[in-house]
């Protein structure tokens, strides 16, 4: 597996995904994923779990079927001040935090200034490691401001495979632009499947094609190295990923 990390996946707990945590881990193990992020939607998304779901991850082992599990959430940006829908002390305890804008948690609008403000403010939150599917045309932004802020705050920009094949139609142009800006500014990106069933885990084919088209340097794709990714979390972000 060239890119043995998938940090954005959902389980049945999200309410609109179809496989369990165990099924996801098993499938990941079979295809050669070494580190799997399980990042169910945080509570303001319809059908998503109560905060206790995220608070009780300690019930789970660090490795399942030989795959290192990182327990986190795809939190919703809930306002233009960049607030998220998980309590701060819980955010701190999660292994991995993605922040994303979703319809209908935020009303779709074409005001680039406002959307950008929401994301940039969320990036001031030290618990945010990844900005999810920021190329979504439902929430147009100033892409350059996003990438510069990612550089300043050392946050990974996600290139989300599902944005090209399943949802968020029209993301491809914006995602290519964001990736190109990341290349120009030396900002690392992360490939994510955003799988809502195990069968899409580790599939980054469409995202890789976009990166190929802009000749993205390999060293800016953090999925290529489990060592670099774990150092990003532990050394650069100060996370303690304890053995269990």
Residues in the site for Zn ion, rule: CB under 5 A? 74, 100, 194
Considering the complex, state which of residue 48 and residue 127 has its C-beta at the smaller distance from Zn ion. 48
Q: Least separation, in Å, of the C-beta of 167 and Zn ion?
A: 8
SS (H, E, C) 157-213: EEEECHHHHCCCCCHHHHHHHHHHHHHHHCCCEEEECCECCHHHCCCCHHHHHHHHH
Q: Least separation, in Å, of the C-beta of 96 and Zn ion?
A: 12
Please report the sign of the dihedral spanned by the C-alpha atoms of residue 210, residue 29, residue 241, residue 82.
Answer: positive
Considering the complex, state which of residue 184 and residue 205 has its C-beta at the smaller distance from Zn ion. 205
Helix axes 171-185 and 143-153, enclosed angle (nearest 10): 40
Q: Least separation, in Å, of the C-beta of 64 and Zn ion?
A: 20
8 A C-beta contact, residue 150 and residue 124: no
Closest CA to 145 of 157, 159, 128, 161: 157
8 A C-beta contact, residue 113 and residue 136: no
CA dihedral 53, 55, 56, 58 (to 10 degrees): 140
Q: Least separation, in Å, of the C-beta of 8 and Zn ion?
A: 6
Considering the complex, state which of residue 45 and residue 221 has its C-beta at the smaller distance from Zn ion. 45
Considering the complex, state which of residue 100 and residue 223 has its C-beta at the smaller distance from Zn ion. 100
Q: Least separation, in Å, of the C-beta of 26 and Zn ion?
A: 20
How far is CA 61 from its chain centroid? 21
């Amino acid at each position: 597996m060239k890119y043995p990390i998938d940090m954005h996946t959902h389980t049945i707990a999200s309410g609109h995904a179809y496989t369990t945590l165990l099924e996801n881990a098993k499938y990941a193990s079979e295809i050669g994923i070494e580190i799997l992020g399980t990042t169910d939607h945080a509570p303001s998304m319809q059908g998503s779990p109560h905060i206790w779901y995220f608070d009780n991850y300690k019930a789970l082992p660090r490795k399942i079927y030989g795959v290192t599990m990182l327990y986190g959430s795809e939190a919703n940006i809930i306002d233009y001040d960049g607030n998220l829908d998980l309590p701060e002390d819980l955010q701190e305890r999660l292994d991995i935090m993605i922040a994303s804008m979703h319809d209908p948690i935020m009303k779709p609008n074409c005001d680039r200034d406002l959307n950008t403000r929401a994301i940039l403010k969320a990036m001031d939150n030290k618990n945010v490691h990844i900005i999810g599917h920021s190329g979504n045309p439902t929430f147009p932004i100033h892409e350059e401001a996003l990438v510069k802020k990612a550089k300043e705050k050392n946050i990974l920009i996600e290139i989300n495979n599902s944005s090209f094949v399943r949802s968020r139609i029209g993301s491809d142009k914006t995602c290519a632009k964001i990736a190109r800006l990341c290349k120009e500014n030396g900002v690392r990106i992360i490939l994510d499947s955003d799988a809502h069933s195990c069968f899409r885990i580790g599939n980054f084919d469409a995202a890789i094609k976009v990166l190929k088209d802009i000749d993205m340097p390999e060293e800016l794709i953090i999925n290529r190295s489990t060592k670099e990714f774990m150092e990003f979390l532990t050394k650069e972000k100060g996370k303690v990923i304890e053995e269990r």
